[in-house]
Structure formats: C-alpha cells, structure tokens
Amino acid sequence: MEAQITREDALSREGYRHACHIMLYGDCSAKLFGKIPIKHIVLMQMRFDGLLGFPGGFVNPSKETLEAGLTRELLEEVGEAIPVGVENHVSSCLATSCPLITHFYIKKMTEAEIREIERAAVATATDHGLEVLGMVRVPLYFLKNGGGLPYFLSHSFISNSRAQLLSALQRCGLLSQGELEKAVRQAEQMRR
Ligand code: GTP
Ligand code: MN
Ligand code: MN
Ligand code: MN
Ligand code: MN
Ligand code: MN
C-alpha cells in the first residue's frame, strides 16, 4: 500500500509528477427493479486501457494549482469545468513503482448535477471515446451471488483507485464498515 503524505509535503518535493483524481457523487432516490434502493450515485470511468479509475489526470504544479489542473482535466474528460477547491482534497499518496504523487478529491453534488455531468461526458467531453470510454456508476448494493458491489470490485483498477474508492465510501458514510468488509471478502473469492 502506498504511503500517505500531506498536500503540503507533496508540493514541497522535487522530482515527482503529480496526478489529481476525484470522486463525484450524489444522493439518489431511484430504485433498481423498483425495489432495491440505489441510494447514491458514485461516478468512475472506463479508461482507454480497460482499467477502471476516477476522472482526472496529470497536473503540473509549476504551471497551475493542483485544483485548477484537476478542473482542466475534468473539462477534457467529463465535459464540464467543475470547480474543485482545497476543501475537496482528501489524500495525497506516493506511488510505489514510479516518482508519482496521486492526489485524491471528493465532491458531493445534487442528483441533477450528476445527471448533467453524465450527459456532458458523452456530448461535449473531448476525451470521450478516446482516453475515456465512458463514465460508469458504482453499484453500491448487494444482489445474490456477489452481484452489485462485490462484482464491481472484482474488476481491474488503475493504480490505487480501488483503495481510494473503498476509503471514500467509508469516509462519506455511503456504506457501513461491515458492508465494505463483506464486499471486499466476496470480491476476493471471485478473483480466485
Ligand atoms: P494523459 O492525457 O494521457 O496524460 O492522461 P491523464 O492526464 O488523464 O492522466 P491519467 O488520468 O491517466 O492519470 C495519470 C496517472 O495517474 C496514471 O498513469 C496512473 O498511474 C494514475 N491514475 C490514473 N487514474 C487514477 C485514479 O483514479 N486513482 C489514482 N490513484 N491514480 C490514478
Ligand atoms: Mn486526461
Ligand atoms: Mn485521466
Ligand atoms: Mn492529461
Ligand atoms: Mn490527455
Ligand atoms: Mn490519460
């Protein structure tokens, strides 16, 4: 697991590249099959390399702030220059295999705003169909035989984005600790 550092420490280091990614999420009143509450919409994306990850990308702190760089990446990848502030920052991590620091952000939006982002991601994002193959919603519910979150977690994720997802779900209180442990356990069983 990658080492966590502060945003300040991250920016004081030389010789590292920086990447910023964000979890955009909102509450949702819809029910799957008319009975299973969706509860929350959490957005991730299918990347060009076939891996799941969060929207965002490389930022150059000598030319832009981390947050302005993330907003620029969001314009490219989801078609909207969503404002991001320091208050949205939740973690900075030293990557294990290369001199890279990954910064993670979380922003809560309304259901209508999330739906508008999903439209823009197809309609106006310049990276749509290129670096981004599509936005996906994370299923947060449990169906029979590992359906829902366990199957979602059994896919392959870029860098530490799977750990970022799990810690964000806990931090935002979208799932209980017990539910998260159950999902991880079931996902491990399917990967064998
Ligand atoms: P280019 O335009 O091709 O440079 O891509 P980009 O700027 O959109 O960069 P990308 O989103 O691929 O992120 C840069 C690097 O950060 C990747 O090479 C991964 O190592 C890492 N990365 C990508 N997505 C995530 C993510 O969701 N979480 C974390 N922790 N790292 C990620
Ligand atoms: Mn990008
Ligand atoms: Mn990207
Ligand atoms: Mn980029
Ligand atoms: Mn690019
Ligand atoms: Mn890319």
More reliable by pLDDT, 190 or 127? 127
- Res 82: pLDDT: 98
Residue 159 maps to a domain:
no
Whole-angstrom distance, CA of residue 5 vs CA of residue 154:
28
The count of domains in the chain is 1
Mean pLDDT rounded to a whole number for the chain: 96
Residue 43 maps to a domain:
yes
Q: Which of 59, 53, 101, 62 is nearest to 84 (CA)?
A: 59
Residue 65 maps to a domain:
yes
User: For the domain that residue 43 is a member of, what is the CATH number?
Assistant: 3.90.79.10
Q: Answer whether 107's CB lies under 8 Å from 88's CB.
A: yes
Question: Ligand 1, residues 2, 4, 43, 58: which to mutate, most atoms within 8 A of Cβ?
Answer: 58
Give residue ranges with CB within 6 A of ligand 1: 19, 21, 53-54, 56-58, 73, 102, 131, 158-161, 164
Whole-angstrom distance, CA of residue 88 vs CA of residue 99:
24
Residue 177 maps to a domain:
no
Q: Which ligand is nearest to the CA of 48?
A: 6
Supply the range of the domain harboring residue 85.
Answer: 3-140
Q: Does pLDDT of 136 surpass 80? A: yes
Q: Could you read off the pLDDT of 18-48 as tens digits, one per residue?
A: 999 999 999 999 999 999 999 999 999 999 9
What number is the average pLDDT over the span 124-129?
98
Give the DSSP letter string of 87-148.
GGEEEEEE-SSSSEEEEEEEEEE-HHHHHHHHHHHHHT-TTBTTTEEEEEEPP-SB-GGGTB
What number is the average pLDDT over the span 187-191?
89
CA atoms within 13 A on the CB side of 26: 13
Q: Does pLDDT of 163 surpass 70? A: yes
pLDDT confidence of 2, banded at 50, 70, 90? confident
Question: Ligand 1, residues 92, 132, 158: which to mutate, most atoms within 8 A of Cβ?
Answer: 158
What number is the average pLDDT over the span 171-185?
97
Q: Which ligand is nearest to the CA of 21?
A: 1
Q: Answer whether 40's CB lies under 8 Å from 141's CB.
A: no
Question: Ligand 1, residues 1, 2, 4, 21: which to mutate, most atoms within 8 A of Cβ?
Answer: 21
Cα of 108 from ligand 4 centre, angstroms: 23
* Cα three-residue angle 35-40-41, rounded to 5 degrees: 110
Q: Answer whether 7's CB lies under 8 Å from 13's CB.
A: no
Q: Does pLDDT of 103 surpass 70? A: yes
Whole-angstrom distance, CA of residue 61 vs CA of residue 72:
13
Residue 149 maps to a domain:
no
Residue 130 maps to a domain:
yes
Q: Whose CA is nearest to atom 8 of ligand 1?
A: 57
Residue 40 maps to a domain:
yes
The pLDDT > 70 percentage for the chain reads: 99
Q: Whose CA is nearest to atom 13 of ligand 1?
A: 57
pLDDT confidence of 1, banded at 50, 70, 90? low
Q: Whose CA is nearest to atom 31 of ligand 1?
A: 159
- Res 191: pLDDT: 75
Give whole-number Cα distances, 102 to 19, 37, 182, 188, in Å: 5, 33, 27, 25
Residue 8 maps to a domain:
yes
